[in-house]
Amino acid sequence: MINEILHGDCLKILKDVPDNHVDLVYLDPPFFSQSDHALKSRKLTEYKFKDTWPSLDAYIDYLGLRLEEIYRVMKRDCAVFVHCDRNASHRIRMLLDQIFGFDRFVSEIIWTYRRWSNSKNSLLGSHQTIFMYSKTENYKFNRIFQDYSESTNLDQILQRRERNQHGKAVYAKDSSGNVVLHGPKKGVPLSDTWDIPYLNPKARERCGYPTQKPLLLLERIVMLASNKDDLILDPFCGSGTTLVAAKLLNRNYIGIDSYSEAVELSRKRIENPIRSDSRLLRTGRATYKNLPREIINILHQLPVKLVQRNRGFDAIHNEFINGKPVVLRVQRKGENLADAAGKLQRAGKTKDAALMILVRTESEGQQQSLFDMFPEDVQVIDSLEVAVQSKMESILHQLRR
Amino acid sequence: MINEILHGDCLKILKDVPDNHVDLVYLDPPFFSQSDHALKSRKLTEYKFKDTWPSLDAYIDYLGLRLEEIYRVMKRDCAVFVHCDRNASHRIRMLLDQIFGFDRFVSEIIWTYRRWSNSKNSLLGSHQTIFMYSKTENYKFNRIFQDYSESTNLDQILQRRERNQHGKAVYAKDSSGNVVLHGPKKGVPLSDTWDIPYLNPKARERCGYPTQKPLLLLERIVMLASNKDDLILDPFCGSGTTLVAAKLLNRNYIGIDSYSEAVELSRKRIENPIRSDSRLLRTGRATYKNLPREIINILHQLPVKLVQRNRGFDAIHNEFINGKPVVLRVQRKGENLADAAGKLQRAGKTKDAALMILVRTESEGQQQSLFDMFPEDVQVIDSLEVAVQSKMESILHQLRR
DNA sequence: TATAGTATTGAATCCGAGC
DNA sequence: CGCTCGGATTCAATACTAT
């Protein structure tokens, strides 16, 4: 039994799998959300599954039986990743403590993401939990490194450290007093909180299955705890993301699901795996911040919301005038004031702005006449720096006389 | 019993607190780390506490007894925040389910941070969990908003949506085909994962207590679930961060700790609370924007050196005029402009300043006449915010006519 | 081809109607 | 008064389109 996707209850199907057989298990069972899930879309097939239970205990019993079977088929160096959310994570971890042992707990992974909503009486839930347990003390684990934090002083990291005669850690110096460098650095070990974007409604990766997980999440798990040609089991495979990750990373897989539509879908996806090429994933969140630091600093003075994705204006004031927005733009370094005003005005018009404010950051001397050419709804305000500069110049001017 | 820090086991001390008495509880009990904590430092006092237990069950029993007492003293609209880490979070939540009820669960808050380490065979643990439970269905909750994601099309968010004849959501247009806007936006509701920097070893906020929590974390909790003059209880107060947060935000507090050193330390911190002004905290995700905008932020706009210890002016410009300094002062909140000018002038005279600049931060309407009374070497410049405000007002004025 | 700007969509949540 | 159900609202992040 290898590279197959099977239809049925995993409890039953796993009985046919021998002991100590698989190298990695990931499971994403129903979360005890006490509601049924369906994705309404205009696609031909509509996928759904039930997640309603007589009681929490019934749910835990259901899951416990299957986890025992999973434990049995795991090899000695196999790890399991159990995906859950806040509804029942504590109960699931109790189960894992029972079946695997308290000391076989390895990590509690937090998957965080941003999403839409309008919660009122509580915080906006935006994480899910993945428990990693191992069958024995020795389990497969490939170290993955991530980038240093932006606030890290990288050139210090590159210096080797040693202890001086008082046992204090100091930067190593060679005989001539120069700092000694380490070799190249790999980055920092992967954290247990993973900020991975939620699969958004427009993603091409989306296949119509309600609780589909991002491929990147599964790829990370597969890389972390398995090697090439290993056998990966997903007993609640749903849309088959785990299997796609396994295939793309040259692992073998067994997928099981009790919904025949899910099995069909997984088989289709395995044939033609789509990896979404999202800009957010490719370049990271930071590249969306296209406003230069100085401009952000100026705008942070004001009660405004920054707008990163519009070329014409940089911010919208928190207060509206008669239901119409007040938009602002900060003059760029080297940018002509009239150009800036023109861009601002064009963009502001499309939003029907009540007022457009251009913050002048460069003193241009005699160019006051240009102001006459400005559309009257664009108002120019000097930045503090320009205002101070002009005061200083006028004092100098007086002194020269 | 109010605004006190008491020494002893909270189980015993809480017996003296009446039923339904406190408005908010935060507790940060030992985490069941099975090790003793001390912070080795060159400070005079070395703080330590034990976190070793005969068994997990013994730990849970210990905590359970105290949580029951806490439940009793909570008002009906009170919420509790229980801080724990991966060692025992699931068992603690089981306790909370028992004592408060499964349905009184409100949020699982994940505090993430970055830290140093070289984890070998697992992910680098970099989060802790805070469970929020309420005593009844109706509990205090103040909505806090955070910035939109960088990848959001903010100017699109401002547009109103409606359904067309096919039931499809589309952007609303008025009769002339222009988009219709919503009112101003506040941002998105605060997420349940909080990225708050760990108190780094060099932070001035650090007081030597091993598991000290960042003030920002506690301030957020206090703001979220209590109001002015409320009574906040921390039965494991440790270094007293909760109490400091309570005091800074004008709440009352009761702190309890079974280590007399901790009680002493808390009392000292309450007398002289230090808020760390780390750059990361200041420029980090903008929940801070609601706080009064600091004078430092304004001055950071300018090529000046800050002067921390002079009553009359706040900064000296990097450029001098004819060998004489240019000094600056920013008007304080609620400070009369003429007073500010007077102080600035007196201080500026002693330095033989070439120019004194007063940055006005409050629009005072008709008080322009006062300018005449100013010494002529004091020049008033409007802060950006004041300038923008006055433009907006003049537009409103025109509209009213 | 690259990018700025517009069109779309879905799951969580709240809220009000109906019973 | 408690329940369910449907509708409205929310925003993150894509696809698409025009330049």
Spans of all domains in chain B = 4-144+190-281, 149-186, 289-400
Q: How many Å lie between the alpha carbon of B85 and the closest alpha carbon of chain A? A: 10
pLDDT (tens digit per residue) in B333-363: 778 888 888 888 888 877 777 888 999 988 7
**CATH number of this structure's domain B4-144+190-281, picked from the four choices 3.40.50.150, 3.90.550.10, 1.10.10.10, 3.40.50.2300:** 3.40.50.150
pLDDT band at B116 (very low <50, low <70, confident <90, very high): confident
Taking the C-alpha atoms of residue A151 and residue A145, their distance in angstroms, rounded to an integer, is 17
Mean local confidence (pLDDT), B278-285: 39
Least confident of A352-361, B9-18, B179-188, B285-294: B285-294
When scoring B77, B114, B304 by the number of chain A Cβ atoms within 10 A, the one with the most, hence best to mutate, is: B114
Instruction: Point out the least confidently predicted range of A7-21, B48-62, B237-251, B365-379.
Output: B365-379
> For A137-176, how does the pLDDT look when each residue is reduced to its tens digit (9 = 90+)?
999 999 988 766 655 554 455 566 677 777 777 766 766 6
Listing DSSP states for B207-251 in one string gives: -S-TTPPPHHHHHHHHHHH--TT-EEEETT-TT-HHHHHHHHTT-
- Contact yes or no for B298 and A301 at CB 8 A: yes
Distance B155 CA to C7 C1' (A): 13
CA-to-C1' distance for A39 and C10, Å?
8
Q: Measuring CA to CA, how many Å separate A167 from each of A5, A162, A170, A353, B117?
A: 59, 9, 9, 65, 20
Structure tokens of A71? 């434990």
Residue B113 in tokens: 């941070």
For the full predicted model, state whether its pTM sits above 0.75.
Answer: yes
Residue B120 and residue B59 in contact, taking contact as beta carbons nearer than 8 Å: no
Nearest alpha-carbon partner for A50 in A207, A59, A96, A234: A59
**Maximal CA-CA distance, chain B:** 79
The SS3 call for residue B205 is coil
Joined together, the tokens standing for residue A68 give 């025992």
Chain C footprint positions (protein CB, under 7 Å): 4-15
In this complex, the answer to whether residue B185 has its CB under 7 A from any atom of chain D, a nucleic strand, is yes
The answer to whether the C-beta of A197 is closer than 7 A to strand D is yes
Place of tokens 């800036």: A340
* A319 contacts B184? CB cut-off 8 A: yes
